[in-house]
Structure 1
Amino acid sequence: MATKAKLLEAAEAEFGERGYHDGSIVEITRRAGVGLGTFYVYFESKEAVFRALVTHMGHETRAHIARQVEQAPDRLSAERIGMRAFFEFARSHRNLYKIVMESQFVAEDSYRAYYDSFAEGYRRNLQAAVDRGEIRPGDADIRAWSLIGLSVFLGMRYAIWDETADLEPVVDAALDMIERGLSLGPKP
């Protein structure tokens, strides 16, 4: 399993730097320090390793966030902690956005599966929070996709495009939006 992990790490570097079309299996194996034949023990093609990489990156991102939020006392705290964790993960895995974005053109089903996996977990967690009385009832699917969109685009803007941005005010503003929306308050 260590060899497969080295190949995925090398593929992340290769595709992150050169993109899918310019990336090469030979360069992936060179980066991983394994022979070309070893690559084919684990993957049948460049597309296969790319698809596996998108899946792997989604798993790693979700696992990182889950570890960070597991002790959160309630759903809104979990949102705050999870958003911060996602931004930090994106900053430390700079190729994440490039690879996931490119996957919509190389392997659209992998791209959709990446986000569907996030949405499924989010839906479950949001519904559980409703059941515990932590948040008001609402469409968990729409909420999940809305929260994913918020995090993805804020992460792109403030964690990737401006890697020096202070993330705390970004998280504070996003959580204010999540908690209060744009409303001035109750309607008369």
Structure 2
Amino acid sequence: MSSKSPKTARGQRTRNKLLEAAELAFGEDGFHATSIGDITRRASVALGTFYVYFDSKDEIFRALVAHMGQMVRAWIAERVEGATDRIDAERKGLIAYIEFAREHQNLYRIIEEAQFVAPDAHKAHYQRFAEGYKRNLGEAAERGEITEGDVSTRAWALIGMSVFLGLRFGVWGTERPAEEVADAAIAMISEGIRP
């Protein structure tokens, strides 16, 4: 954590307001067109307040990428709690991811722009997902809920599926229920595509 981490609940709320404002500003206008003033206006805080929490636009952007990753992971974790097995967790997790994408449509622009603006933050965003995924898949294989296999390749394949299904059915169009999309994807995961 940064040395500028809030030390009080009020400070954390102000930092979160800045991150929420940054999500809107970067999501709508992109990194290069957004100024620190745009963020502070949206957050309804003084320009000087920004510098209490962040040193630069680059720093808040990187913090936002990490923050959005934490938000997604927490959102999914809450919704997969109580899953009966790994396949059920995959289904619930995919539904949750699509629903998150629908509620936070700026996610894609911010994360994809990070690929060029902050490549290390972009890579770390996906690596954090992959680490948790690998652990969960390995534990599920040990419990006999899924077959043994290369957990790294499986983790990245499942992440890729989620990302693109979230883009297609969370951002580009919401005409199909998330449950229906997840059911089709989970059928492919659990049954394969062989005749």
Q: Which residue of 1 aligns with 2:4?
A: none
| Within-5 A mapping of 1:10-89 | 10-89=21-100
- Which deviates the most, 90-99 or 165-174? 165-174
Residue of 181, 190, 194 corresponding to 1:183: 194
| Structure 1: 5+ residue stretches without partners | none
**Amino acid paired to 1:94:** Q
CA contact (8 A) 1:130 1:137 kept: yes
Compute the displacement of 1:163 (Å).
Answer: 2.3
| Structure 2: 5+ residue stretches without partners | 1-11
1: distance between equivalents of 2:179 and 2:139? 27
Q: Which residue of 2 aligns with 1:93?
A: 104
Q: Deviations over 1:71-97 (max 9, x none)?
A: 101000000000000000110011001
2: distance between equivalents of 1:167 and 1:2? 32
1: distance between equivalents of 2:44 and 2:170? 31
4+ long deviations beyond 2 Å:
163-169
- TM-score (normalizing by structure 1): 0.96
- TM-score (normalizing by structure 2): 0.93
Q: May I ask how many residue pairs the two structures share in their alignment? A: 184
Residue of 14, 30, 53 corresponding to 1:3: 14
How big is the alpha-carbon RMSD for the aligned residues of Structure 1 and Structure 2?
Answer: 0.7
Q: Which residue of 1 aligns with 2:169?
A: 158
Q: Deviations over 1:110-140 (max 9, x none)?
A: 0000000000000000000001110000000
Q: Does 1:104 align with 2:121?
A: no
CA contact (8 A) 2:105 2:170 kept: no
Q: Deviations over 1:141-169 (max 9, x none)?
A: 00000000001011111111002322222
CA contact (8 A) 2:95 2:178 kept: yes
